[in-house]
Each structure stands twice: as structure tokens, then as C-alpha cells.
Structure 1
Amino acid sequence: MTRKKQNYRGRFAPSPTGPLHFGSLVAAMGSYLDARSRGGAWLVRMEDLDTPREIPGAASDILQTLERFGFEWDGEVLYQSSRQEAYREALATLISDNAVFPCSCSRREVAEAGLQGMEGPRYSGKCRQQRMTKTHSGAVRVRTHQEQIQFKDRICKQISQNLELDIGDFIVRRADGLFAYQLAVVVDDAFQQVNQIVRGADLLCSTPRQIHLQQLLGLTTPEYAHLPLVLNDSGQKLSKKTGAFPVDKESPLPSLIAALEFLNQPLPNETPGSLSSFWEWAIAHWSLSPLVTQEK
């Protein structure tokens, strides 16, 4: 599936942990419309690193659903499971620059230290003075510093985070040997030359970590836009964990119109007669402006 590529390069990167649900559809639509309305490329990447959580057949089911809903992506789908060597090379760079250290602390030990960050217990720095060795196969953390990481989000405006105080030294390789999301996403965005990232606001807090890694690895920082989250009746993010139902592959238009409405976009006066007419309307009328956070 191809369209003419121009300077804008966006992407949608689902995890194959279950079928595509409405919250994921909203994220896919936001990134897709932003790319296509600006004449850009839209890539699909399957973030299948976390093998214990992966559901067999979920990746192909997600791609089939995207096709049924009329999404058209550029180039081949990139699977993170095929990118292990690239992650090892990135980690080797961090090791050579003394930007990381081995950590043997369990989650329980981190919690018992009693330090709180933006996402729960914050790492105390207990293993910070440890040096990496060639034989270490466990968890690896990135050193953080008491300086502000700042960026301007296209929706959420100015964001600032003190990584050491708000997050703490974070993991780039897990104790089980799997590479962490934060490292993989940075390496793959650079590899695919992604320069515009439109995704859910649940990842807003992760962005300063990714910018920190981009700076350490000498990579370009993309522009970011974090879409509002779809919540369930209990106020939780709609997800596979919270029992989100799959979208209906046999009747895509109602879900597409609902997603467009959720994103505060104008709706057609009449129900589109086809997927192509829906996308033509949605692309022509797309704007981030209705979603932009008003600064106080």
C-alpha cells in the first residue's frame, strides 16, 4: 500500500496484545489524518517486543482490521522483533558513553525505598555506581539528571519534566533480557525517519525519557502531538486490560464516524456511502485545533 512520500513521516505503532479496539482506532485515525492532510507518509510498526504479553495472531488481525477500515500505509510493516541487533547497537553506544548502569533491584525493592514519581515508585539510584560488564545480562538503567527536559506538544502545549525527580533512572533493558519500549521506540523512529508522532496522551509522560535517549544517541527529536484518551465508564483508559471490545470489522463506518466525532472533527451532513468517501471528507476537514489544550 503506497502513496507518494513527502517530508512529513508519521506512524501508527500498535502492540499485538489483542484486537484493535476503539481507543486504538482513535489513535490510528488521528495519526493517519494528520499525515494524509499534510501530504505525508504514514507507516505502520508492530511493537511486538514484549513476547510474554503478545497474543498469537493479534498482529495479523490488527493489520486486517486496518485494511477493512480503509487505512493505507506506506511501505512494509516493521516488526520490532526483527530489530534486536539495532537495539543491541544502541545499548552498546550508551554503555561506551557510561550513560547506563546494571541494576539488580526488584520492583519490591524500588517500592520499599519510598520514593514517589509521576508514574508510581521512583528508583532510588541504589546501583548507580555499578559499572557495566560484558557478562551482565540483567536489567540496565539510564542515568537521569536534575535538569528539565522541555518540548512543545502540538496539542498539550509546553511540557517540562525533571527526569531524575519525576521519573528516576529508567530501564532500557529488562531483567528478563528484553529491550524496553523506551529504547526500542527511539531507535525505530530514527530508523524509519519518523518526524511527526501523533499518539495517545497516555504516552505524554514517556516523551521526555525518549527525548533524553535521543539526545544521548545523537538522534533527531520528532514533533509530538498527544491525542485525548478514550475512557471507559469508570474513568479508566480504554484498553485491552480494561475489557475494551474489538471494533466491528464487518461494519467499519459507524466506528469511523464515532472516532471522528471523538476527535472533535466536523461530521459529514450525510452518512458517507463508502469508505473512500469517508476518508476523502475526513482528510479534507482534518484539524488539530479543536483538540489543542488552552493555556492558562
Structure 2
Amino acid sequence: MPELPEVETVRRGLAPYLAGARIAAVTLNRADLRFAFPPGLKTALEGRTVTDVGRRAKYLLFSLSGGGTVLSHLGMTGSYRFTRLGLAEPTRYHPVPGGHDHMVWSLVHPQHGAFDLVYADPRRFGFVDYFEDAAQSPYLAGLGPEPLSNAFDAPYLATRFAGRKAPVKAALLDQRIVAGLGNIYVCEALYRAHILPTVAAGDLVAADGRPRGPLEDLVADIRTVLVEAIAAGGSTLKDFRAADGELGYFQHSFSVYDREGEPCLTPGCAGVVRRIIQSGRSTFYCPVCQKPAAGKRPDSS
């Protein structure tokens, strides 16, 4: 499942070609994906212009002239690709034979001319929705702040973590607390902050409600790992590619994720990466240098 860096990479690849393009025609080759296509989608889109390609959490948002918004979730195997444009590689690759092109937008751009945007999804876990007012979308309602926004900081997390007994990893995956974080990058950020993923979220908050030092570290490390992942084009685990077909390379920088049984990369640490299951997902961590909330970081005095 793509996380924030992968979706942001796709957004950045699509935006230069879609912003300013008029949707001349829409072709739907089936009635549904994970959910049914919205009634009247074809009529609602045809003749309108894409004004912007945005992202909120793990959703792509195609803003249209007149105020409408198309919301798209890629699911496990969803991808966008351009045809008649010279960029025919999909945003994600999945080794399944053709026949999975479910939605096609025929576009006309003042600079790039006529071309198609094709959405393919072999497993059909992705979905597309449409709203005249994006504020009406139930998918966007209640989401926490973006982790790269000014609204996301240690004092904010302290207010959301205070008194919570849930593990810090589970709390960070709660999209109501912070939007867009997923399993891979939470594992990596917790490792960088040297915090055990099993520590209660509330233990990162002092009795007076202020964030403890490890929580300050965690916020900084979340930002850093996301920025690095976006710069690397995301992580290509099985099927991810950028909009022009280029692979993401952040998986080569993984410190703990998918490294079970391998030596910890923290200088001077003799630990070995372990894997446990939390809420049905694999968690990778070092049991030696990742500490309880009250513990000191290995480089602390």
C-alpha cells in the first residue's frame, strides 16, 4: 500500500501534465473498483479543466474548474499512466497481464497537446470518488495534520498522546492523529528516534502535558525520513514507480524495515533487527538501541 512519499511522488509526476488540461472525454470500462464509480462521473468531468493536482494524506486530489474535486486512492495496485505523451510507464508496476485499464481521461493541454490519462488497477482495491465540494468528502473529514505541515509538532502530538496506552506505533498510524503516515516510515522514524514501537504513546508526554525529549526527537525524525523518501522517489518494494516510470530508491536506505535478523546500523550498537506483529502489521526495530520513552538516546550523555 503506498504511503505519503509514494503518493506525493505520483502527484509531482502528474501535476505538470494535468494542471491546465481540459477533460475532453471520460471512458469507464467497468462500473466499479473497490467501490462503484460515482453516478454521473463522466458527465461531471467532461468539459472541465484540471486546475491542480494535490494530495491529502494518502489521497490524490484532482481539482477542477468550477470547484469540483476527484479523489483517488491507489489501493494496492492502482496506477496512473500517460499515453500519447511519450510517458507510457505506469506510476506503479504490477506483473499482471493487461486488461486492467478501468478509467481513461482524454485530455487536451495548451502546452502538451492531446493525450490520455489511464487508471489501471489489477486487484481493484483502489477507488475514485467525486465531490463538488471537497469538504463534503467523508475520506477527508477528521484527518489529522500533514506530518510536513507547520501544524504538526511535538506540542501537538503531546496533546494527542497524553493518557494514551496504545503503542506509539499504533498511535502514529491513526490517521486522525497524523495524516499519511504508514507502516514503513513509522518503523524508520521510531528507529531514528531510538524509541521502542511498543512504548505507550502517553509515556512520551510529561506529567505537565509537555512533550518529553524523545517525542521532540520523533517529530524531527518523522519529518526527515519523509523528506528523504520523497527526494528518493518513494520506496519500490514490489510494484511502485513514479509517474514517468522511474523506480523509487528509498528502500535502499531502510535502517530497520524488512531487515529482520540483520545487524543494527546504529554505530556501536550490537543489536540485531527484530520483527513483531502489531495490529496485524509487521514492525521492525532494534531491541538494543530503541529504548522506552524515559530512556536516553545512545548518543546522549
Q: What TM bracket, shorter-length normalisation?
A: under 0.3
Structure whose CA Rg is larger: 2
Structure in which a larger fraction of residues adopt helix: 1
Q: TM-score, normalised by structure 2?
A: 0.24
Higher relative contact order (CA 8 A, sep 6+): 1
